[in-house]
Amino acid sequence: MGEAPADSFLGDFLNGVDLKSKGQETAICVGSKIYVIGGADLESTPLIGVRIFDKSSGEWINPIVLGTKPKLSNSHSAVLLNGDRILVIKGNSNSDDCFWFLEVGTPFIEEQERTYGNEVVAWSKGVLGNVEKPIVISGPSGVGKGTLISKLMIEFPSMFGFSVSHTTRAPREKEQNGIHYHFSDRSVMESDIKDGKFLEFASVHGNLYGTSVEAVEVVADAGKRCILDIDVQGARSVRASSLDAIFIFISPPSFEELEKRLRARATETEEQIQKRLRNARAELEQGKSSGLFDHILVNDDLESCYENLKKLLGLTEGVKTARKTYPELVDLPIEHSVSKIDQKILINCGAAEYHKASNNMYVICLIHFCIHSPYWNSGI
């Protein structure tokens, strides 16, 4: 149970008003619950906290908070989106730290609540202009997933970021910790999985592999489109999670060719190759028949497969440099109002002469997740 704030803070909610801001704290009403977002004490709480007031029981709940929490700023606003996510807008923050989503009732949260037997909320950072979905690439070992991903990263370095997985397998000769994988102890990884730090994990070819929430956030924080190289079990878990991704299965031209590639790579022992080939049969079955994947690409000739992958991702000539720029600082004064009209959020910062910046109105488009201001000459 949390500590109840002053009655006046909740008074309006209980009378049906659904947003009230008190500088450091904002409250949003979702069904029978009021989510109070913000730390009570700037000194002792440097991160934005979340408490829930359950109107039906009259009790306070401290939820389990997943994801990276945003740092406090001297003001913030919040607005409910689709009844299951809250957009939190931090004042006086750089545009890369200004927008945060708090999931409160999505299918992902419901599943986590079943697992934990507790109220759960999850933070994720909103990256302006990041309209493209993350890409999940799956397929049997040795089919060429890593090779195709490397080609994308080399050709489009500012567009894609690789989600660095954790694994308990030993590093190969040229693999670097933190770049190819986070090489981990099983006990540490298992404990982090229990603590909800992983988006997905699976036992693959006798080792534990997993994608941490942080691995995906690091890429989003860099304003890049995330690529995940994971097995079919992992792809299934991501499908069931809140990460809205594109799922691509890479298939070999034949089983014999797959075996040839795996042997030619010369990174596994004969016993491990046999194990990977056995698993490959099952993965090929599942990949092609489950309906889990949005696209299946056959990696016969590497260059043709790469061209098909680019086509599928809409990477035609001209997109390499097509990145938008945004205002560096989103300058919200303590007094401001937020409203949602269709797919737009309007932030009114009050009279321009009162507000030290000339930007007294911001408009956030939720479809493309971009921001503009009538006073900001960006050309968006």
Ligand X SMILES: Nc1ncnc2c1ncn2[C@@H]1O[C@H](COP(=O)(O)OP(=O)(O)OP(=O)(O)O)[C@@H](O)[C@H]1O
Active-site residues, by number, are 172, 265, 276
Residue 226 binds ligand LQESDW3C (CB under 6 A): no
One-letter identity of residue 55: K
Task: Retrieve residue 289's tokens.
Answer: 């028949």
Residue 211 binds ligand LQESDW3C (CB under 6 A): yes
Contacts to ligand LQESDW3C from residues 37-96, by CB under 6 A? none
Find the part of the chain contacting ligand LQESDW3C (CB under 6 A) among 21-29, 182-190, 229-237, 330-338. Answer: 229-237
Instruction: Show the site string, 96-135: x = touches ligand LQESDW3C by CB under 6 A, - = not.
Output: ----------------------------------------
Using the minimum distance from each CB to ligand LQESDW3C, give the nearer residue, 98 or 309.
309
Q: How many other C-beta atoms are found inside a 10 Å radius of the C-beta of residue 97?
A: 15
One-letter identity of residue 352: A
**C-alpha distances in angstroms, 250 versus 46, 143, 145, 211, 218?**
45, 7, 7, 19, 25
Residue 204 binds ligand LQESDW3C (CB under 6 A): yes
φ/ψ bin of 363: left (φ > 0), alpha (ψ from -120 to 50), beta (otherwise) = beta
From 24, 93, 112, 141, residue interacting with ligand LQESDW3C (rule: CB under 6 A): 141
In whole angstroms, the minimum distance from the beta carbon of 200 to ligand X comes to: 16
Are the CB atoms for 38 and 49 separated by under 8 Å? yes
From 77, 165, 184, 242, residue interacting with ligand LQESDW3C (rule: CB under 6 A): 165
From 108, 123, 162, 209, residue interacting with ligand LQESDW3C (rule: CB under 6 A): 209
Using the minimum distance from each CB to ligand LQESDW3C, give the nearer residue, 204 or 371.
204
From 104, 128, 230, 297, residue interacting with ligand LQESDW3C (rule: CB under 6 A): 230
Residue 234 binds ligand LQESDW3C (CB under 6 A): yes
Q: Which residues bind ligand X (CB under 6 A)?
A: 139, 141-147, 261, 264-265, 299, 302, 305
Using the minimum distance from each CB to ligand X, give the nearer residue, 188 or 302.
302
Length of the chain: 380
From 229, 331, 332, 371, residue interacting with ligand LQESDW3C (rule: CB under 6 A): 229
| Alpha-carbon span 119 to 79, nearest angstrom | 20
Task: Retrieve residue 314's tokens.
Answer: 């809409």
Using the minimum distance from each CB to ligand LQESDW3C, give the nearer residue, 153 or 202.
202
| Alpha-carbon span 70 to 62, nearest angstrom | 17
In whole angstroms, the minimum distance from the beta carbon of 234 to ligand X comes to: 11
| Alpha-carbon span 122 to 270, nearest angstrom | 43
3-state secondary structure of 371: strand
In whole angstroms, the minimum distance from the beta carbon of 50 to ligand X comes to: 38
Task: Retrieve residue 238's tokens.
Answer: 């991501």
One-letter identity of residue 263: R
Residue with tokens 């993350």: 134
Handedness of CA 122, 127, 128, 131 (dihedral sign): negative
φ/ψ bin of 68: left (φ > 0), alpha (ψ from -120 to 50), beta (otherwise) = beta
| Alpha-carbon span 228 to 56, nearest angstrom | 42
Binding site for ligand LQESDW3C (CB under 6 A): 141, 145, 165, 169, 200, 202, 204-205, 209-211, 229-231, 233-234
